[in-house]
Structure 1
Amino acid sequence: RLNKDVFYDFEASDNDRDDEAMGIDDLSAIENQVCKLSDVRMRGQFVRRQTSDRGFPRITSSSSMDAQGDLSAIENQVHKLIDDLRSDFIEGQRSATSEIRLLAKHNMESRIVLANCGAINLLVGLLHSPDAKIQENAVTALLNLSISDNNRIAIVNADAVDPLIHVLETGNPEAKENSAATLSSLLVIKENKVRVGRSGAVKPLVDLLVSGTPQGKKDAAIALFYLSILHENKGRIVQADAVKQLVKLMDPALGMTDKAVAVLANLAMIPEGRTAIWETRGIRALVEVVELGSPRGKENAAAALLQLCTNSNRYCSLVLKEGAVPPLATLSQSGTPRAREKAQALISYFRSLRHGNSLS
């Protein structure tokens, strides 16, 4: 499979709030990232996309075949695979979904042909397959197809959200990972944040944060980040007890600090999110990220602390007791532009409270 060790740059593409968390590596490059995130998941680790086809089944029999010939060969192959998807034979469906997941990973032309030939609706139907391998292949094929913007729309229009949640709840570990990753890809489109948020996806995504594989936890955090951009989803995520799990995942040894902090920075924008961060001792963890985290982690941690402090003197006192001022002072001089802005705003807020004798 492709290498999902690639970090995502979580960016609030909707720009509905200036203080929305900035990501763990770059939503503007989401299409490339989803490519890196997608298949071939049969071997465990992703590799970067290569211009060479080496190592994957070739669609054409000759490298000299022109583009029209390539397209014709793809169409012939896809029609046969579609017939196999429609069959009642488990082995045929298993083989066809396996080939489609590779073909969808292979190139954009294949994704277009597969979508035009009706593969998406058939694959969505197979997400309920009792055969674990068919289910895994089908969800991974949809993940690869979702690299295309048009296919993202087609997947949602095929009523894929509920079946994807079914995979999140019932699939094998790899199927669950790829279901979360597919939802992440669909959530790039603003309208899908509403639909997926209202569909019941939040709880199984939080469950994946708890019990998933290391990769599954990362995929769940990515999906929850995109959902948390939309205000109405923030409360759902907090109510699903996500904050406690996100604070646990800020342990540097787990390699998920940036992802967890990005989600927490968005959740800190609502009162129940701030309360949950305080109750789970997340304030100390956020201060530690300001001091020792990555540039993006420091930026989002400072944004979260600013939300906490400016909405509660109690939280502000706790932030100060955790020794936040020295790392914030450093960040105000040497962080990213947004990190400097948040750190300077926090320091100014501390000063204003002291001068007003509102803070001991």
Structure 2
Amino acid sequence: MKLSSNVEVSVEISHEGGVALLVDLARKGNDQQKTSAVGALANLAFNDSIGAEIARCKGVGALVVLMRTGTEQQKDFAVDALQNLAVSDEIGAEIAREGGIEPLIKLIRLGTDQQKEGAVGALANLSINDAVRSEILSKGGVAALLELLRMGTDELNEKIAGALGNFANSDEGRTEIAREGGIAPLVALLRAGSEQQKGYATDTIRNLAKSNDKIRAELVREGTVPLLKNLSRSGSERQKESAARALQQLNGGCCILM
């Protein structure tokens, strides 16, 4: 596992046919072999070209199986690998086809802290793909993310806020976030979160403000306007831009901003 985290060694492993061997061990090896193999695959999956090779070697299905039924350590490694692989739209779609969405959502609800972090990162990456995002929504992914947002760590909440921004790119996602009570915890991050959390929360609120009058009215009731105005004046450059756009979206709806 340590060797595969070195870039040059990772490429050499790939050139020497090691990826196919690791996938085979992840499928058919004993528990110790599976653990070592999936740990190596998690490290190798950081490399885009090797990630594509893992997919070609049918590694996605093997990783999903271990995420669902493996030991705790195997689940740790498998979800990390899938998080890395999910940055590719094509591989993200394959993760969904192999049944990876439901076990990721289950880990967000019931996994260890490490598993939750990996699963949130995987859903954040997967939610960039429109079709996969719809499947995550249909399986309760937003509800699971919001449950965790209310009790997660600072690092987890940062990732969750970023993921929710992706879901808020669609009408379906915006509606689901509002339905599941997501506006209040996002406003709480906007009010008292870290700088990174505020940035992601602002982006998500900006996207939510593109929605219907009902959602815009709820955003205003929850106190977003003074918070956004403050960020538009004194936040980072990114926060200023996103907050200004959110205010424009809110002002274009049913609510007059004072």
Q: Return the TM-score normalized by structure 1.
A: 0.66
- Could you tell me which residue of structure 2 aligns to residue 125 of structure 1? 24
Matches within 5 A, 1:125-164: 125-129=24-28, 131-164=30-63
Q: C-alpha separation between the residues in 1 aligned to 2:10 and 2:253?
A: 57
Counterpart amino acid of 1:315?
A: I
* 2:213–2:254 CA contact under 8 A, matched in 1: no
Taking the TM superposition and a 5 Å limit, the aligned residue runs for 1:185-334 are 185-251=84-150, 254-255=153-154, 256-334=156-234
SS in 1 for 2:2: helix
Shift of 1:275: 2.2
Q: Which residue of 2 aligns with 1:338?
A: 238
Q: Distance in 2 between matches of 1:192 and 1:354?
A: 41
From the superposition, tell whether residues 253 and 300 of structure 1 become closer, same or farther in structure 2 (CA, over 3 Å). closer
SS of the counterpart of 2:209? helix
Distance 2:205 2:45 in 1: 35
The Cα shift of 1:265 comes to: 0.8
1:123–1:142 contact (8 Å) kept in structure 2: yes
> Amino acid of the residue matched to residue 179 of structure 1?
A
* Equivalent position amino acid for 2:9 in 1: S
Distance 1:102 1:308, change over 3 A: closer
What SS class does the counterpart of residue 149 from structure 2 fall into?
A: coil
Q: Which has the higher contact order (CA 8 A, sep 6+)?
A: 1
Large movers: runs of 4+ above 4 Å? 352-355
Find the aligned partners of 2:251 and 2:9 in 1 and give their Cα distance. 60
Distance 1:116 1:204 in 2: 32
Alignment of 1:62-77 (within 5 A): none
Return the alpha-carbon distance in structure 1 between the equivalents of residues 48 and 248 of structure 2. Answer: 43
What 5-or-longer segments of structure 2 have no aligned partner? none
CA distance in 2, matches of 1:206, 1:146: 21
Q: Is the 8 A contact 2:212 2:253 kept in 1?
A: no
Of 59, 62, 83, the residue aligned with 1:184 is 83
- In structure 2, relative to structure 1, the CA distance for the partners of 1:252 and 1:326 (3 Å cut) is farther
Question: Deviations 1:222-247 (Å, cap 9, x if unpaired)?
Answer: 11111111122111111121111111
1:151-177 C-alpha deviation (Å, 9 max, x unpaired) = 222211111111111011111122112
1:130 Cα deviation from its structure 2 partner: 6.6
State the one-letter code of the partner of 1:137.
S
RMSD after superposition: 2.2
Partner of 1:97: none
CA displacement, residues 266-302 of structure 1 (integer Å, 9 cap, x when unaligned): 1112222222212221100111111112222222212
Return the alpha-carbon distance in structure 2 between the equivalents of residues 320 and 330 of structure 1.
14
Matched, 1:171 2:90: no
TM-score (norm 2): 0.90
Identical columns (%): 29
- Larger helix percent: 2
Cα distance change, pair 220–333 in 1 and its aligned pair in 2 (3 A): same
CA deviations on 1:300-351 (whole Å, 9 max, x unpaired) are: 2122222222211111111111111221111111223332222112223444
CA gap 1:158/1:327 in 2 versus in 1, 3 angstroms:
same
Instruction: Go from structure 1 to structure 2 and tell me whether the alpha carbon gap of 1:348 and 1:271 turns closer, same or farther (over 3 Å shift).
Output: closer
For the structure 1 residues 147 and 346, does the alpha-carbon distance in structure 2 shift closer, same or farther, using more than 3 Å as the test? Answer: closer
| Deviating more after overlay: 268-277 vs 321-330 | 268-277
2:15 paired residue among 116, 119, 133: 116
